[in-house]
Structures are given as C-alpha cells and as structure tokens.
Amino acid sequence: MMSYFLALCKSHPGAVLARYRDLRAEGLLCDVFLEVSGKEFPAHKSLLACSSDYFRAMFKDYTRESKASVVRLQAVSATGLQHVLDFIYSSWLSLSLDALEDTLEAASYLQVTEAVALCSQYIVNNLGLENCCFCANVAFKFCLPDAILATDKYLVNNIWKLLEQEVGIMELLELNFKSLLTVVASDDISKVKELSLLRLVVKWVKHEKTRLVYTSRLLEHIRFGLVPLEELRDFYSRPEVLLTGTIKNSIIQAINYHSFAFRQPLVQDKSSTLRNQKPWIMLVGGGTAHEGLVKKVLAFDVYNHKWRATAPLPVKVQNHCICAVGNFLYVLGGETPSPSHDDAKSVAMPVSNAVHRYDPRSDQWMEVMGMLESRAQFSCCAVENSIVAVGGRADAKSFHSSVEIYDLSRNRWAKTRDLPHKMHGHASAVHNNIIYITGGKYMDQVNTSKDVYSFNMLKGDWKKQAPMSIARFGHQMATVKETIFTFLGIYEPFCDIEKFDPLLNQWTRLRPLIFDRFCYGLVVVEETVLLLGGRKWQDAQEVATPNVVGYDTENDYWEDICKLPCPLYGLKSAVLQLSDRATEDEKNLKRV
C-alpha cells in the first residue's frame, strides 16, 4: 500500500482574498456592480455568493440578477455596503459608533453573518455611560442576543450613574421599551431609590405619545412600598399618566403599608422588598475606649469584606438586646446615659424600656411601643411574629423574673409566664419555636448559673433542661440547624464552648476559642458563627478588640476573619438584608 498525507497551507486563504482585493482594485474580472444611491461598487459574484446567503440566492442561474451587470440595492446605505464589501474582501471590518447602524443594516440585510457577529462583539466590548443606551437600542433593533444581554446588564449595574447626570437621563428617555422593562423589573439594581425609577418611567412614557400603551407594563414592576408615603399619595391623587385599576390597587396597598408602620414586618412582599439586597451584619450599640458609648451603626458585608455606616441610633446604649423580624431591626432596652452624664463611664446609667426599630428601606429609625419593664442585661428573641423579652435587671439591685411578648400586629406588649427565678446576664436562643435560656445570675445567689430552661409559648410553661458543664454570665447563644451553641461570657477563666442537642437533652464540649473575649457581638452566617469585637484581657487590663473571628460549626474550627474599623465593645449584632447605597455611605464610614 502506498502511504499518503494531507498538508495544510495556512497562508492560502489569505492569499486568495488578497488576490481578489487586487483584482477588485484593478477592475479585473469584476462581473457585477452593486449600486446604492447612485454610487457603484465593483465586485465578483463568486466571492459575494461565497460570503453571503443573500447573494448566493441572488446569483442562481435562473435569476435575473445572475445575468445583470448592475444590481441595485435599496435597503442599505453606501457607507454600510462599503464596510461589508471591505470585510468580504479582507476579513477586516471597520467599526465605529457613528457607522455601526449602517454597517449592521447592510450586514443583516445581505446576510453576512460573520460581520453581524463582529458588530455584536464590538458593542459588548465598548459599552460606556455615554453610549450604553444607544448600544442597547441598536442591539434590540437588530436582534443581537449577546449584545442585548450585555447592554441590559450594563444598564442595570450603572443606571444609578445615568440618573445622576442630566445627559444620562436624556439618554434613558430614548431607551427602547424592552431594555427599560428589563431594568425596572430587575432585582439587582443598586444605589437607586425607587422614587427615581418611578419618575423615570413616567418621563419615559410621556416622552412620546406612542409609549402610553406601555405604562401599566412598566409600572407593575415599580415597588411602591419603597416609595415615600407623601410621594405615593401625590402620585395617586394627581397622576401624570393614566393608571389602571391594578396599578391603583398596588398604590393603595403601599399607602396602607406605610400608614400602619408597626405592622410592616408582618406584611412584607415584593413591593416592599429591597432590590440588590445582600446580607449585612449590623453592629449596634456599645462603644469605644476613646469615645465611650456611641450612636453610630456599622454594617459589614461578610462576603466582600466591605464596611459602611447606616443611620445612627437615636440613643447611646449598652447591655441592650436586638433582633430582626421581617428584615427590620429592633433594639430593646439597655442602659442609656442620662443627659447630665452622657458617657460610658457613668457609674450607674438609667435602664430603659424603649424599643427602636430600624428600616433598611428608608435607612431610618422609629420608636415603637416600649416594654412594660425597663430591662438591661436581659435576653430577647423572635418567635414567629412576636418578640420575647426575658428577665434582666431594672437597676443595679433589682432583677426581673418577668417575661413579656411584643405583638407586632398590635404594637403592644403583654406579660406571660414568669421565669422560675429572678435573673440577669443569661442568654437565649430559639429552636423549633421553643425558647432556651442558659446561665446568668439569680437575685438570691452570688455565683453564676449552669441552669438551662426552655419555654414553649403554646403551653406557656418553663421546663428545666440538662445543665451546662460551665457556669456562664454575659455569654451568648446561637442556633445552627438542629444544634444550640453557647459561647464565652464575662470573666470566664477558660475559653471553652459547648453545644446542646435539644432532642437528646445533652451537652458536648467543643474546641475552645484561642483568645478570650466578652461583651462582643454574635451572628450566624450560613453555618459559621462570627464573634465581632468585644473586650479581652491584656496586661491585666480590659481592652477593646477590633478582631472578628469565625467558628465553623460543621468542622469545630476557629479562624480569624478580619478587623472592625475600630475596636468596639458592648455591641449587639444581627443580620439584615441591605441594598447598596450611593457614595454618601462610604463618606460616612470615613468619619467613623
């Protein structure tokens, strides 16, 4: 048998095109002229047919154009045809924003698919604030899927920048309906107030009369629960566009949502859900060594390690409690400095019964109904649609055994079954809607306690459980899946932690924390428990620490995470869903 092989000459295709260019330049063997607006372009039918399905069909033997020496094209411009012919003869496509539509029009009409793909890639690679709306319109007009995805994503990510510029707003008013609908319907818009989106939709619809038919389809994606109440009422009573019954009903529901503020956590839906929301850890209350107690509130993006400041607390506070319900943050009780002793070094600060609520939608605090008792060093937790405050102290010598429940639907506190003892400095956690409290100090005892009690709200009774192996005071608890963990308290001589199995009523010792700490914040993120800031012993003194450490509950493992912007102690922490804000938050953080 004879052997053989195939050899490839990589330069051959380019050489053939080069020869065609030479023939075209010299006018040799050109068998057709393409005429557009009185201007003729010489070409070779064979190369045109190889590069375009349109020309391939045109130059079949049975067509009139196959025998014509001049073919007139009506649907393309001279500029567009010139660019497409240059591409057919060279594989190079001259692109610019000025000629993009002409080029795409010719390439699409003549079915030069490779040139269309290059135009689409040009749009994807050259998006900017000054051209994104234009590019979105071009992509939509010529049905370029990749370019549509890229431009829509760019618009969603950067609409906040466009809305800050007069030129940007004018560009948005020229945006095609589909792209604007994608933006308004997106869950991922950052740094844009809902009122700004509402105003943009109204301006866009009014910009051209033919757009009025799109009014409802756009407005149904506005989250009216995020629009301020007065603006809602004004828009409903004096609408600038025609509102359908469905849209009117959505606005009325949003007005009712704002009108009964204390019930808002119970009636959350998409119309009041923040866009672009991500989990942030809120650091509330406590203070620093230099400033004493502070009102500032910090938020930490645990996934991107970003910090930002939110609206400050109405009051300075320590030994308080916080909990989150319906993505609202409640701050309860604690010690607040009196006006005459506005610092953290006051020997005895008044104990408060006040309850303040933070709304991340408006970045504002409001005061709701206060507890029936003033409480400090107590515990609280959220169970279903209620907040339960347990024990604590009214002053330096008076402890509580009382337990009270906050009914969010009525904005009212009511007493329930008392604790078995008057106590403070205990901790609590919830598992399967049953409250568990551990440790603390009883009024009639000097030593801290190992006791554990559970409270079933349906039955209304307290039940004693297996005690901890360590007596704890001023400690914290966390529930992760089916397990309850207890962490360090005040003045503990060791750093052991332990976990409790509610089904087996059994405690187990775990890996100790390397460094001691107390008066820290604690949150659970997925299956990791984070301890933020607090105090520790250093050179026989209590010092505030900025360290954030994490405990992997799955692998019983500790690790350093990051540092706070400044050392904080006495803080409380919770996880809230926040939306990215504009740059003033970053400026506020620099002042912290």
Residue 116 has what DSSP assignment? H
Residue 343's pLDDT is: 52
Residue 344's pLDDT is: 47
CA distance 424 to 334: 12
C-alpha pair distances (Å), 515 with each of 54, 218, 368, 426: 75, 55, 38, 22
Reported as a single tens digit per residue, the pLDDT across 332-388 is 999 999 766 555 454 578 999 999 999 999 999 999 999 999 999 999 999 988 999
Contact 459, 438 (CB under 8 A): no
Task: List the strands of the sheet with 32-36, edge to edge.
Answer: 39-43, 32-36, 70-72
Residue 563 in tokens? 């540092």
Task: List the strands of the sheet with 379-383, edge to edge.
Answer: 379-383, 386-390, 403-407, 412-416
Residue 298's pLDDT is: 95
What is the model's pTM?
A: 0.87
Contacts of 164 (CB under 8 A, 6+ apart): none
Residue 184's pLDDT is: 97
Q: Which of 74, 118, 73, 113 is nearest to 99 (CA)?
A: 118
Contact 498, 483 (CB under 8 A): no
Residue 446's pLDDT is: 83
Q: What are the residue ranges in the chain where pLDDT is below 50?
A: 344, 346, 583-592
CA distance 417 to 457: 9
Helix H, strand E, coil C: the string for 135-197 is: HHHHHHHCCCHHHHHHHHHHHHHHHHHHHCCHHHHHHHHCCCHHHHHHHHHCCCCCCCCHHHH
For residue 127, the Cα-to-chain-centroid distance in whole angstroms is 24
For the chain, domain boundaries: 193-259, 277-591
CATH of domain 277-591: 2.120.10.80
